Each structure stands twice: as structure tokens, then as C-alpha cells.
Chains A and B, each alone.
Chain A
């Protein structure tokens, strides 16, 4: 009886097979069986009425800035084209698809999109390196980052672009409502919570640049440096240390869409290890900034502890 799945936000979950037009999405959600899904549906902020009206006539928010969509993918022939269709509805200035280590027909599928700029690295580039490559090539005012393995309806994607358009620098996916009790969570969730706490941003909960979708302003990209995007938690730490506007935007349930692979399931799996290492790098960034300002000598530390003991005992 798995009631609260030990979900790895952004890395693992059930795969949902099949997809249908967006018009059916509300119906599908209602029938979709498990308790978690119902729960998350109930907590989901009300969507704009436009969503249920029609197939393609939905009014997506008009952006003032130009939009670059950056999609990283590795062997995602199943989903890539459908995702590109949703992305096209956002009317982006450019779409950059970064493929790495693909052994299927992802490349051919990506080329079917007339607008997409396709970067094709035959060898594996490693986790999140594609984001940095895409970001370096991009020119838009708003950068929306996606993974090729999940099809997210355009209205959901639009929220992230719209948030950046209205002044947010880093617009994150808000996965807090999907969190299990802490005792049941995994190392990835715990690392994300701790990093935000150390950064003084407990309000961000588990929100992280490790998870997609998220969007950046060009200002944020320049402040962070596109190279740092390959270690997303470090990029997040730099954003907050540089006093960028980092905010949760909305929930997109990437847990249920995420592809299940041997590398991202089970305790201590390679992806989990990689993400923990990323958080170590992020913490190093935070801690090395603190050293100069917060360093306490052993003696003053001892005195502080003495005073504390006195005070707690009401003496």
C-alpha cells in the first residue's frame, strides 16, 4: 500500500501513457485514479477560464518581451513533437532544442518543427549541460527552460513566461503541494529544502531550478552566468545571493509526467547522487560568501554560548 509515493521531485514518477488534446485534459484529470493525483488537482490554483473553452482559440497572455524556449532532450522521440506543438502556441521568438546522446529519432522529430533551432550532440553532454548551451545561444528577453520528456499544455507554460514578463527574474515551478511528510521524503527533496533555508528563503519550500519548467529574465541570465546553469542549485544560490527576484509561480505536476528510468529510481540512484552533489556546490557558494562577514573566533564563540546558557535558564 503505497499511499504517499516516495517521489523524487523532478526526477522520478509514474509515466503517463498517451495524451489527448488539451480540451480533454479536465476530463482526464477527473478520472485519473490515484489519491495523490486527486489531491494535487484539488490544490491546484484555478486555471483561467480560457483553458476549457476551445482547442486552439485560447487566449494566452500577450508578452511584452521576446521569448526564447530552450528544450533539453535525450531520446525523447515519443514526446518531443507534441511538446513542440504546445510551445509553438506561445508564439516564441525562438525555440532552441538541445539534443544530446540521442540514439532514437529525436533529431528527425525536432527537425519537423520549422521554427526550432536544433543543436545535436551525438555524445552525452551530461545533466543540464544542454540548458547552458541553449541559454548561451538564446537572444530573447525571457528564457523558458523545458525538458523534452514531458508535454506540458501551453497555458501552464505561459504562466512562467508571463511571470518573468511582469518583473520576476527567476520563476520556479511550485511543487510544495505535492510534498510528502518529511519523514517520507527523499534526499533530493531534503537537499532542496535545506538550500532554500540556508539562503534565507524557506518560503520557496522545495522550489528549485533543478525542476522544470522554470523561466529566467535576461537580466538573471547575465547576473548568474549561463555556464552556471549546468548546476541548477548553484545557479539558484547565485540568483538569491545576487538579490534577484526569485519566486514560485505555479504548480506543474512534473512528478507524474517524468519518465521512469533505471538511473532515477530507487534510493541512492545516480541522479539522486548527482543532485546532492549539485547542492553541495550550491552550499559552498553560499558558505564562502559568509566566511568573511560571519566568522567568529573560538573565544567569542565560547562567550556567546556561555551567555546563551545563562539566558535560557533565566539567570
Chain B
């Protein structure tokens, strides 16, 4: 019996056995997706929302995966601030393209896509994550069976004693929300799906700030489930950081702190947790 605790991180060394591959660095040519019905359904049941910024290399395969989640499906690609031909590739893959010259900002594409969506179920993913339909379908299935929000069952790397600040913030927010069973799973991570009802409760604008949307969803009593694990940590492209300082981390942490503020505003100074048998009046 090994003395080492079980590996919980998505980061591994060596060969990747997952069918999902990070394609950002690969030189494989983009395969045509002609075999699939390359058009959106006129009365979609599922809307797949894909924000994309300079993802011409991956977008066709991302759309191909998305299209396979349901027979009545629309794919909405929110192309923003792209200098490459992401929009053209998406169009020729049969997606509805909403185009912005300027970048919308982190996660803002989710709000735009949600506003345009016509389906009963909204599935959110990202333009640089090539995920096969089989890995996306569980999220749709969960919502069609009654969940309001179906989350990726991925908490980030937790092998170290002290994890990455964003992982710590996600866990802590869930603890304060009384949902420590969700571990580090959150609407911050894609893929995740939601019901139209959830969208109406939260409003599309809030989706640009996922930790706030997540907190609201829990507080408003929406049914939130972790559904299926897609280890997106492996898939995420390594992006620019300013040395050890990551400005994106700052933004995500701020959103989590604001979510905590919202929670304390609505549920009181102790977030609804008991004070036990403390007799505070004993000390003046």
C-alpha cells in the first residue's frame, strides 16, 4: 500500500491518455467537419455558447464537439478582439457568429451568448478547449433531468498543502455558502450547463462575473450539481503572466471577495452559521 496520498491534480507528467488533447501547441492540420449537420437547428433545445478570441486553430473542432451534444442544437460563437480568421472558420462550421472588433473582456462573452440563446438548456464552453461531444453531453443530460446548474466536477490541483489562491478562493466561497460538498467546483470553470430558469433568475449580465453568479445561484436556491469531470487544467493554454504576478488571478479573487460580501449582506455577519452557545453579553 502506498504511503503517498492519492493523486488529485490534473497535472501529470508523461503521455496523456485522455481523449481530450491540448491542441494549442500541436501542428495537426484542422480537419473539416463536413460529416456533421453543419447548421444550427431552427428551434434549438440546447444552445452552446463559445466565447472565442483568436482561436482559429481550434474553433472548428470545438464547434464539432459542441454540435454533437443534442440533435436540436445551436452553436453560438462570440468572437471578440480577434486578429485571425476565427469568425470565418466558425461561420463555415455552421455556427452563429456574434462578432466584436474589440475584446469584450474576461468572461463577458458568456453574457452576450446567453442573451442570444434560444434553447431551453445553455451549455457554456470555451474556444480553446477541444472537448468531444461525449464529454459535454452529461451536462446537458443533468439539466434536462432537473438540475438548474450542472457543473464541471473539477476542483483544480489540490495535492499541495496550500493550493493556488484561485483554488483556495473557490473552496472557501463554497464553504461559506454552506456547500462545501461542491469542493472547488464553480461556475468559473467551463464546461457547465444551466436551465433557462437559472438564466432568468441570475440574469445574463451576471454571467460575466461567474463567482458572483455562482453565489447568487446557491443563495436563490437553484439546484446545483457537480456532474462530470473534464480536467480543463490540462487543456488550458498557458498565457501571459507578468512574472509571478497574474492580473487575471487578481480579477478572479476580487470577484470571489465580492461574492463573499454579497453573501454576508444577505445572510448576516456569520453567513448563517451558528454561534453555538456563546453568551456574548457576558463580556461588556
**Are A and B a genuine interacting pair, yes or no?**
yes
The complex places the Cα of A291 from the Cα of B258 at a distance, in Å, of 10
B218 close to chain A: CB less than 8 A: no
Residues of A within 8 A of B169 (CB): 194, 197
B64 to chain A, nearest CB (A): 23
B160 close to chain A: CB less than 8 A: yes
By the criterion CB–CB under 8 Å, are B278 and A129 in contact? yes
Residues of B within 8 A of A284 (CB): 264, 269
- Tell me which of A12-20, A143-151, A178-186 binds B: A178-186
Residues of A within 8 A of B282 (CB): 121, 125, 129, 132-133
By the criterion CB–CB under 8 Å, are A308 and B106 in contact? yes
Identity of the chain A residue whose Cβ is nearest the Cβ of B172 in the assembled complex: A194
A26 close to chain B: CB less than 8 A: no
A60 close to chain B: CB less than 8 A: no
B277 close to chain A: CB less than 8 A: yes
**Which single member of A125, A193, A303, A309 contacts B168 (CB below 8 Å)?**
A193
A280/B271 contact (C-beta < 8 A), A182-B162, A194-B169 known: yes
A127/B278 contact (C-beta < 8 A), A3-B5, A4-B5 known: yes
The complex places the Cα of A227 from the Cα of B282 at a distance, in Å, of 9
- Tell me which of B21-29, B97-105, B136-144, B188-196 binds A: B97-105
A287 close to chain B: CB less than 8 A: yes
Interface of B, secondary structure class, is loop
**Which single member of B3, B104, B155, B247 contacts A311 (CB below 8 Å)?**
B247
The complex places the Cα of A197 from the Cα of B83 at a distance, in Å, of 38
By the criterion CB–CB under 8 Å, are A180 and B161 in contact? yes
Residues of B within 8 A of A122 (CB): none
**Which single member of A136, A273, A312, A314 contacts B274 (CB below 8 Å)?**
A273
Identity of the chain A residue whose Cβ is nearest the Cβ of B53 in the assembled complex: A313
By the criterion CB–CB under 8 Å, are A306 and B159 in contact? no
A301 to chain B, nearest CB (A): 8
By the criterion CB–CB under 8 Å, are B162 and A308 in contact? no
Q: Mark A12-39, 1 if CB is under 8 A from B, else 0.
A: 0000000000000000000000010000
Chain B interfacial residues counted at CB < 8 A: 57
By the criterion CB–CB under 8 Å, are B279 and A281 in contact? no
B239 close to chain A: CB less than 8 A: yes
Residues of A within 8 A of B106 (CB): 305, 308-309
By the criterion CB–CB under 8 Å, are B81 and A310 in contact? yes
By the criterion CB–CB under 8 Å, are B283 and A202 in contact? no
Residues of A within 8 A of B284 (CB): 227
B37 close to chain A: CB less than 8 A: no
Residues of B within 8 A of A180 (CB): 5, 161
B156-190 CB contacts (< 8 Å) to partner A:
158-163, 165, 167-169, 171-172, 175-176, 180
The complex places the Cα of A271 from the Cα of B276 at a distance, in Å, of 8
By the criterion CB–CB under 8 Å, are A280 and B247 in contact? no
A59 close to chain B: CB less than 8 A: no
A176 close to chain B: CB less than 8 A: yes
The complex places the Cα of A261 from the Cα of B274 at a distance, in Å, of 18
**Which single member of B105, B162, B248 contacts A306 (CB below 8 Å)?**
B105
B69 close to chain A: CB less than 8 A: no
The complex places the Cα of A232 from the Cα of B269 at a distance, in Å, of 15
By the criterion CB–CB under 8 Å, are B108 and A305 in contact? yes
A187 close to chain B: CB less than 8 A: yes
B8 close to chain A: CB less than 8 A: yes
B260 close to chain A: CB less than 8 A: yes
A283/B264 contact (C-beta < 8 A), A129-B278, A270-B276, A274-B275 known: yes
A310/B5 contact (C-beta < 8 A), A226-B283, A273-B274 known: no
A112 close to chain B: CB less than 8 A: no
A124 close to chain B: CB less than 8 A: yes
By the criterion CB–CB under 8 Å, are A313 and B3 in contact? no
B218 to chain A, nearest CB (A): 14
In the complex, 16 of the A-B residue pairs with CB atoms within 8 angstroms, ordered by the A residue number, are A125-B279, A126-B275, A133-B282, A180-B161, A181-B158, A182-B162, A182-B168, A205-B161, A226-B283, A270-B276, A273-B273, A287-B260, A305-B251, A308-B105, A308-B248, A313-B81
Chain A interface residues (CB < 8 Å from chain B):
1, 3-4, 35, 121, 123-129, 132-133, 136, 176, 179-185, 187, 190-191, 193-194, 197-198, 202, 205, 226-227, 230, 268, 270-271, 273-274, 276-281, 283-284, 287, 290-291, 302-306, 308-315
In order of increasing CB-CB distance, the 10 nearest A-B pairs are: A277-B273, A305-B105, A126-B278, A183-B158, A194-B172, A277-B270, A280-B271, A309-B103, A306-B105, A179-B161
Chain B interface residues (CB < 8 Å from chain A):
1, 3, 5, 8, 53-54, 80-81, 83, 102-108, 155, 158-163, 165, 167-169, 171-172, 175-176, 180, 208, 239-240, 247-248, 251, 257, 260-261, 264, 269-280, 282-284
Beyond A3-B5, A180-B5, A277-B273, 14 extra complex contacts between A and B, CB < 8 Å: A3-B3, A179-B162, A191-B175, A194-B169, A197-B169, A270-B276, A280-B270, A305-B251, A306-B105, A309-B80, A309-B81, A310-B103, A315-B81, A315-B83
